């Protein structure tokens, strides 16, 4: 089931013009506030009628400006999880979940009530009123309610944006379970938080001022030097997959990636697990010779892929480390003095603290 959309809509101060596809897995739509992300979700859900374009899912047209086709939201069978949960205040959690199940079409398939309750850990919440639930609990109920409507796809509009750090950490594993679980439901996930996107997304679409600036597999877009200004220089950084091979007694864990091994602190997953590492571009140091006598032990041989000068004194360097891609941010002066050019071999030094525990996830 693939979502195919092209939406054009004029607002007072900007024009939204977005074309993208969202297939299996999680497709993240990333952009700053006001980039038009929520408008895209509303247009796909049928809560807003765009001026031009089309929306189709699995080959079925839901909206087509040319022919005037507009399938109303109730007939689209897209599960929407809103930022503010929007639970019905006069029903308890069970009532909200049952509301999701009540109107699904006869032929629809999807998770049953007990499965959803187990998947999202809702069994203790069923008789609670929305007013007594925490923000994270509300979002879990809202997610369950959407799942029980047996949608063809899930649309999530900044579901974690109104939650604080710990609450986010509480709900992220559920989203990962949903992504990796047996439901295989495609998810369009709107967010302005790079850490969420890095942890969850399979495909990434970068929006700016209502336009798509970059899109592709997460690992490629995150490692693209051209995407640095879109993600923000402090937030930009490649995502690589690693396998945990050992946990040492001093708190460091050994992780294998294609180009070698890394030793990182604070890794929670079990030996053998595959995790995602987010390596911030500003935490990668480049050296032309293999460094000796450094306090950091994470040194990888890399090949420079591309050099992308920024607007300011910085430059983004795309790197290849075996099959993985990395991203480093250095000064433009360093580029000149070290004569960094594509094709050159050098060494990337990763600070051990580069990978925060929150950035690790499967």
Partner 1 sequence: MNLDAAAWEALRLSLWVGCWATVLAMPLALWVAWLLARRDFWGKSALNALVHLPLVLPPVVTGYLLLMAFGRTGPLGRLLEPLGLTLAFHWTGAVLAAIVMGFPLMVRAMRLAIEAVDPRLEQAAATLGAPRHAIFARVTLPLILPGILAGSVMGFAKAMGEFGATITFVANIPGQTQTLPSAIWSALQIPGGESQAVAMVIMACVVALGAVVLSEALARRVAARIAGT
- Give the footprint of partner 1 on this chain (CB under 8 A): 45-47, 72-80, 82, 84, 86, 88-92, 99-100, 102-105, 129-132, 145-146, 149
Nearest to partner 1 of 128, 256 (CB atom): 128
Report the nearest approach of partner 1 to the CB of residue 56 (Å).
18
| Residues 122 and 50 sit within 8 Å (Cβ to Cβ) | no
Residues 6+ apart with CB under 8 A from 166: none
Nearest to partner 1 of 133, 267 (CB atom): 133
Instruction: Name the token pair of 295.
Output: 């306090």
d(CA 45, CA 48): 8
Nearest to partner 1 of 102, 290 (CB atom): 102
Backbone angles phi, psi at 348, to 5 degrees: -105, 130
Report the nearest approach of partner 1 to the CB of residue 55 (Å).
14
Instruction: Name the token pair of 40.
Output: 């895209």
Report the nearest approach of partner 1 to the CB of residue 35 (Å).
21
Nearest to partner 1 of 189, 219 (CB atom): 189
Q: Which residues of 231-259 are buried (b: 16+ CB within 10 A; e: fewer)?
A: bebebbbbbbebebeeeeeeebbbbebeb
Report the nearest approach of partner 1 to the CB of residue 26 (Å).
19
Nearest to partner 1 of 75, 270 (CB atom): 75
Nearest to partner 1 of 76, 199 (CB atom): 76
Instruction: Name the token pair of 95.
Output: 């009532």
Nearest to 327 by CA among 280, 290, 293: 280
Report the nearest approach of partner 1 to the CB of residue 255 (Å).
41
| Residues 338 and 277 sit within 8 Å (Cβ to Cβ) | no
Report the nearest approach of partner 1 to the CB of residue 245 (Å).
45
């Amino acid at each position: 089931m693939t979502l195919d959309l092209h939406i054009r809509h004029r607002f007072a101060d900007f024009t939204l013009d977005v074309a993208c596809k969202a297939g299996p897995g999680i497709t993240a739509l990333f952009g700053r506030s006001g980039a038009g992300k929520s408008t895209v979700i509303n247009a796909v859900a049928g809560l807003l009628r765009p001026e031009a374009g089309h929306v189709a899912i699995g080959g079925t047209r839901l909206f087509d400006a040319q022919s005037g086709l507009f399938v109303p939201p109730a007939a689209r069978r897209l599960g929407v999880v809103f930022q503010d949960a929007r639970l019905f205040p006069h029903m308890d959690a069970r009532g909200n979940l049952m509301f999701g199940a009540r109107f699904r079409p006869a032929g629809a398939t999807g998770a049953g009530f007990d499965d959803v309750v187990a998947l999202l850990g809702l069994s203790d919440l069923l008789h609670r009123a929305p007013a007594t639930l925490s923000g994270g609990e509300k979002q879990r109920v809202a997610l369950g309610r959407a799942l029980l409507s047996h949608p063809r796809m899930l649309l999530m509009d900044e579901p974690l944006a109104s939650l604080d750090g710990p609450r986010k950490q509480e709900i992220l594993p559920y989203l990962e379970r949903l992504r990796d679980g047996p439901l295989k439901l495609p998810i369009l996930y709107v967010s302005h938080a790079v850490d969420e996107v890095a942890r969850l997304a399979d495909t990434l679409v970068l929006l700016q001022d209502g336009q798509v600036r970059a899109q592709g597999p997460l690992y490629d877009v995150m490692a693209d030097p051209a995407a640095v200004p879109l993600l923000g220089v402090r937030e930009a950084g490649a995502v690589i997959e690693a396998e945990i091979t050992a946990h040492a007694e001093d708190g460091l864990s050994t992780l294998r990636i294609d180009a070698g091994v890394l030793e990182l602190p604070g890794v929670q997953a079990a030996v053998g697990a595959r995790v995602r590492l987010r390596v911030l571009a500003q935490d990668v140091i480049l050296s032309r010779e293999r460094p000796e006598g450094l306090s950091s032990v994470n040194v990888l041989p890399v090949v420079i892929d591309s050099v992308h000068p920024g607007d300011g004194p910085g430059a983004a360097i795309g790197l290849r480390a075996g099959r993985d891609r990395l991203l480093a941010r250095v000064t433009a002066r360093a580029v000149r003095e070290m004569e960094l050019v594509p094709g050159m071999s050098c060494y990337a030094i990763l600070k051990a603290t580069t990978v925060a525990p929150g950035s690790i996830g499967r």
